[in-house]
Amino acid sequence: MKKLAIILLAFLVVETFHETSLQAQDPTHYKQIVKELTSAKYQGRGYAYGGANKAGKYLKKEFKKAGVDEITCQPFTIDINTFPGKMEMSVDGRALTPGVDFSMREYSPGVQGTYKLYYVDTANYDADKMFADLAKPEYKDCFVVCDFFFSYHHYQDFQKVWGGNSCANAGMIQTWEPLLKFYKAYGERIMGKPVIWATSDFPKNAHSITVNVENKMLTGYKLFNVIAKVEGKRHDSCYVFTAHYDHLGNLGKKVYYAGANDNASGTAAIVTLAAYYAKHQPEYDMYFIAFSGEDANLRGSEYYAEHPLVPLTQIKYLFNIDMIGDNNPIQYCEVSDEGMGGYALFEKLNKENSYFKDLNRGELAGNSDHYPFAVRHVPCIFFENEDGDAFKFYHTPLDTYDNFLIDTYEPLFKLVRDFVERY
């Protein structure tokens, strides 16, 4: 009896070790990668100071350390407007803080000088009166101030204010609630007049602003996707894991957007997944693609979809992991039409194991790197943990290592791992 107990104990130890090795998610390694990618040396993994490409070189080394079989760097180019220089603004002599009190629309030209302010009367809005006012000599070269959402709902009117020469104003200030965002998606060309975003506590009756903003248009700027491969037992089909490693970079010389949740979190996840499959040979080939240029309107993933290393028809399923550094117990996802054949399995696995309280499937949109594949009929799913405690820092300077959360990493890792095993 004692001998049988020893045998059973040994069996349990082996099984426990086996289960632990199969889980293989590595929170320590995961956090190390996020911490590195968000450090000052990468300056927000943007373009003006070369941060994105520095991050790509780091990831190449990380994939190599993970033990993958092959690494490819796929080059491509973009045109992108950047703000690497002066970033100063004051209202009636009171200095504002870039990234906190104001930010720039990504397509804006540089601007320097002192300008009068014209406030739109939103309570008694009359477009004809506004344009008549702006034609008066006293408002020549002024900045028009208006609530962002009001101007958005009257887009046809305000497009004339910021987009062309039909109005003699110098630019526009759009106010909205903090925390202020910054974007790159529409920065592939400079359009119209400078548009400045300011917080809703921007003075309601100020007389003038003084601005000194420098922009730099990068033409034919070289970026690259980092593609790691783990060979499976079969080569006729493959799984693909994607995440974008670039981010917003700089707003002036002193402010950078670290991008911990967006998307150091997803990038770190696919590196640890690569390490897992390098240790546990999968049935099918596995590709782990760290895209650049996502924040510049999905340029890296679009380029790869047009120039794939293997035919897109060989992809059994693609997993795009973006912004999982959060703690919402309900996991948001989007699924391509072809991917819906596997979605029931995701729901079944989640229900069996209680990885998340629920999966919330939203409408497919062009909001991340799954989209160029989805429109090309690839079975794919997009994971993004929305509306947790870290989500409010999205596209702000506060999306830092200290503010990102690890809660989603382990359950998502297990959900994806289980899907591959049973699909």
User: In this structure, are 394 and 275 located in the same domain?
Assistant: yes
Identify the pLDDT of residue 163. Answer: 83
In a domain, 42, yes or no: yes
User: In this structure, are 146 and 225 located in the same domain?
Assistant: no
Which structural domain range is residue 192 located in? 87-213
Report, in this order, helix, strand and coil percent for the chain, each rounded to 5.
35, 30, 35
pLDDT tens, residue by residue, 240-298: 999 999 999 999 999 999 999 999 999 999 999 999 999 999 999 999 999 999 999 99
User: In this structure, are 52 and 195 located in the same domain?
Assistant: no
Question: Is the pLDDT reported for residue 7 higher than 90?
Answer: no
Question: Is the pLDDT reported for residue 17 higher than 80?
Answer: no
Identify the pLDDT of residue 25. Answer: 81
CATH number of the domain within which 277 lies: 3.40.630.10
The angle at the Cα of 255, spanning 250 to 260, to the nearest 5 degrees, equals 75
Question: Is the pLDDT reported for residue 23 higher than 80?
Answer: no
User: In this structure, are 293 and 355 located in the same domain?
Assistant: yes
In a domain, 147, yes or no: yes
Question: Is the pLDDT reported for residue 21 higher than 90?
Answer: no
Question: Is the pLDDT reported for residue 66 higher than 90?
Answer: yes
User: In this structure, are 278 and 387 located in the same domain?
Assistant: yes
In a domain, 399, yes or no: yes
Three-class SS state of 228: strand
Distances (CA, A) of 188 to 40, 216, 247: 25, 12, 15
pLDDT tens, residue by residue, 202-220: 999 999 999 999 999 999 9
Question: Is the pLDDT reported for residue 8 higher than 90?
Answer: no
Cis status of the peptide bond prior to 353, with omega within 30 of 0:
no
- Domain stops at, among 165, 194, 213: 213
Nearest alpha carbon to residue 270 among 371, 413, 374, 65: 413
CB-neighbour burial class of residue 28 (10 A; exposed 0-12, middle 13-18, buried 19+): exposed
Q: What is the mean pLDDT of residues 358-386?
A: 98
User: In this structure, are 302 and 386 located in the same domain?
Assistant: yes
Six token digits for residue 169: 């104003």
User: In this structure, are 204 and 276 located in the same domain?
Assistant: no
User: In this structure, are 157 and 199 located in the same domain?
Assistant: yes
User: In this structure, are 50 and 192 located in the same domain?
Assistant: no
Nearest alpha carbon to residue 145 among 92, 181, 97: 92
Six token digits for residue 320: 């795009």
Say which amino acid occupies 307: H
Identify the pLDDT of residue 165. Answer: 79
- Domain stops at, among 185, 213, 241: 213
**Over pLDDT 90: what percentage of the chain?**
92
User: In this structure, are 163 and 148 located in the same domain?
Assistant: yes
pLDDT tens, residue by residue, 192-204: 899 999 999 999 9
Question: Is the pLDDT reported for residue 19 higher than 70?
Answer: no
Bridge partner residues of 88 (DSSP) = 212
Total domains, the chain? 2
Identify the pLDDT of residue 164. Answer: 75
- Domain stops at, among 161, 195, 213: 213
| pTM of model > 0.75 | yes
User: In this structure, are 298 and 345 located in the same domain?
Assistant: yes
pLDDT tens, residue by residue, 103-152: 999 999 999 999 999 999 999 999 999 999 999 999 999 999 999 999 99
d(CA 199, CA 205): 15
CATH number of the domain within which 99 lies: 3.50.30.30
Question: Is the pLDDT reported for residue 406 higher than 70?
Answer: yes
CB-neighbour burial class of residue 302 (10 A; exposed 0-12, middle 13-18, buried 19+): buried
Q: What is the mean pLDDT of residues 323-328?
A: 98
Pairing type for strands 195-199 and 171-176 reads: parallel
Question: Is the pLDDT reported for residue 363 higher than 90?
Answer: yes
Mean model confidence pLDDT for the chain: 94
User: In this structure, are 148 and 63 located in the same domain?
Assistant: no
In a domain, 294, yes or no: yes
